[in-house]
């Protein structure tokens, strides 16, 4: 099962401190569990009778909880620490330390009520949270904070914080276990997309290569009446509008190619891919790869062009953070004299959801079609991306320094007109010239991944707090 299809699972740590009312801890535990049930999250928590009041205070309590978490290590995506009263800092930090799972941690503390500050009802979690966070800092355990220092679990802000943390957990887990298919070799003229597999592996990202000839030969071996081919052919016809002049045999080639790539991705348990999309596939097989890549992206398996593996990593990160299929584009043209707008294009392989329109055209590649012959270039997705908010992200390896670097930001797709071939997007970014200056001076690639909606905050938390990559956030510059 792909990570996008799973429900986040949290390990729950309920803190308490002896001279505060223990009933608050028991009530807080029940309130948190009820909220998680209501929102549909899964969780792992020690049995209520395993420790006094179902909470963690002593070293013995920490050992009990840690054992439960270790037994469920493969299920847990991150930890939620909640303080219904002051909480015991040692109980919390020792639980995480003994458990030894390098996972995101979310620290929450309950609100006090102004009318309930007597000894029987006061929580002092506002203060206790500072002590817990101090210990996490001492133990070098990174954590995610809440929007407000304290909050009710029944508040909208807490629900939003949980959603944010769940997406951070998904992004961290997804990237640190990612398998990216490198299908074919990069174009010889594109040194731009060179990268280090070894540096990626240090984060947990594995690159799985395959020679393009294996894909081509497997596609050529498929029969037209193969059940999977016929199913894919039907899916292609439903995916967009194919002009009348396109030969059916060219659509059939595309269907067979898609079936083979889908199977190879499944056999190798890959989550994303980067494909040798020109010009060997056109010369030696007779179609483009764009449609196959677009349809994979629509199924939450993003695919980057020109064997840009780090472009695929960037796309996968955006998918994990946003939950929406990303696109892969070139920063391509200025938009007249408007210096905060530009034209981004590709041939293209944009997923239909990324385009944001019901109707798309599936036709021949434009540029390569002129040089290689249009009859060998069917499979390009053609449309202008619909207006709306967007997030952009790009990962790169700095090989001489042994580091992973990235930049991100937010902007808008606009509906300004443009007459340009392929898939296009008019992008509006505040201080676009400053962004281009940063990209240029820091040696980033001309490719960028983008997704609909805003999710830069999730990516920043995942990258800064947990992955430790170097990050430039354009909106914070």
Write out pLDDT tens, residues 148-194: 999 999 999 999 999 999 999 999 999 999 999 999 999 999 999 99
Q: What is the pTM of this model?
A: 0.98
Integer Cα distance of 238 and 244 in angstroms: 15
Name residues whose C-beta falls within 8 Å of residue 162's C-beta, 6 or more positions apart in sequence: 35, 36, 39, 41, 106
Which residue stretches of the chain have pLDDT < 50?
A: none
Q: What are phi and psi of 210, to 5 degrees?
A: -150, 140
DSSP alpha helix (H) spans, 227-322: 227-239, 248-267, 280-284, 290-298, 309-322
Name residues whose C-beta falls within 8 Å of residue 426's C-beta, 6 or more positions apart in sequence: 335, 341, 342, 343, 344, 384, 385, 413, 414, 415, 416, 418
pLDDT of residue 32: 98
pLDDT tens-digit readout, 70-127: 999 999 999 999 999 999 999 999 999 999 999 999 999 999 999 999 989 999 999 9
Annotate 418-466 with DSSP letters as a single string.
---SSEEEEEE-TTHHHHHHHHHHTT--SEEEEEES--HHHHHIIIIII
**Beta-bridge mates of residue 179:** 206
């Amino acid at each position: 099962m792909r990570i996008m299809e799973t429900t986040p699972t949290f390990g729950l740590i309920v803190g308490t401190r002896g001279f505060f009312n223990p009933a608050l801890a028991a009530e807080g535990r029940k309130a948190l569990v009820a909220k998680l049930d209501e929102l549909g999250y899964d969780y792992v928590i020690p049995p209520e009778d395993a420790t006094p009041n179902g909470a963690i205070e002593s070293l013995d309590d920490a050992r009990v909880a840690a054992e439960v978490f270790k037994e469920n290590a493969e299920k847990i995506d991150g930890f939620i620490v909640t303080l219904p009263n002051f909480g015991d800092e040692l109980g919390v930090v020792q639980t995480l330390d003994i458990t030894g799972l390098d996972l995101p941690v979310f620290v929450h503390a309950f609100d006090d009520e102004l009318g309930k500050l007597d000894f029987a009802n006061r929580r002092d979690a506002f203060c206790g949270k500072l002590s817990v966070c101090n210990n996490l800092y001492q133990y070098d355990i990174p954590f995610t904070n809440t929007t407000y220092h304290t909050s009710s679990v029944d508040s909208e802000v807490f629900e939003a914080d949980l959603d944010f943390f769940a997406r951070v957990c998904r992004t961290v887990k997804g990237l640190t276990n990612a398998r990216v298919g490198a299908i074919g070799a990069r174009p010889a003229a594109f040194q731009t997309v060179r990268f280090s597999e070894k540096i990626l592996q240090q984060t947990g990202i594995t690159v799985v290569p395959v020679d393009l000839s294996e894909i081509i030969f497997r596609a050529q071996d498929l029969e037209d009446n193969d059940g999977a081919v016929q199913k894919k052919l039907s899916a292609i016809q439903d995916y967009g509008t194919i002009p009348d002049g396109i030969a059916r045999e060219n659509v059939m080639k595309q269907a067979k190619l898609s079936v083979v790539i889908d199977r190879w991705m499944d056999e190798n348990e890959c989550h994303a891919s980067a494909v040798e999309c020109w010009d060997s596939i056109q010369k030696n097989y007779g179609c483009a790869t764009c449609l196959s890549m677009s349809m994979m992206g629509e199924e939450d398996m993003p695919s980057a062009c020109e064997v840009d593996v780090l472009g695929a990593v960037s796309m996968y990160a955006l998918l994990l953070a946003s939950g929406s299929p990303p696109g892969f584009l070139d920063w391509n043209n200025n938009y007249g004299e408007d210096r905060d707008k530009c034209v981004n294009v590709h041939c293209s392989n944009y997923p239909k959801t990324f385009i944001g329109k019901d109707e798309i055209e599936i036709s021949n590649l434009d540029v390569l079609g002129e040089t290689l012959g249009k009859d060998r270039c069917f499979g390009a997705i053609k449309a202008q991306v619909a207006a709306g908010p967007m997030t952009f992200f790009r990962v790169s390896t700095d090989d001489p320094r042994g580091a992973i670097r990235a930049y991100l930001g937010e902007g808008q797709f606009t509906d300004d007109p443009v007459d340009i071939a392929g898939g296009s997007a008019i992008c509006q970014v505040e201080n676009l010239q400053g962004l281009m200056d940063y990209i240029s001076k820091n040696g980033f690639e001309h490719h960028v991944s983008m997704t609909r909606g805003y999710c830069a905050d999730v990516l920043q938390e995942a990258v800064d707090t947990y992955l430790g990559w170097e990050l430039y956030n354009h909106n914070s510059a």
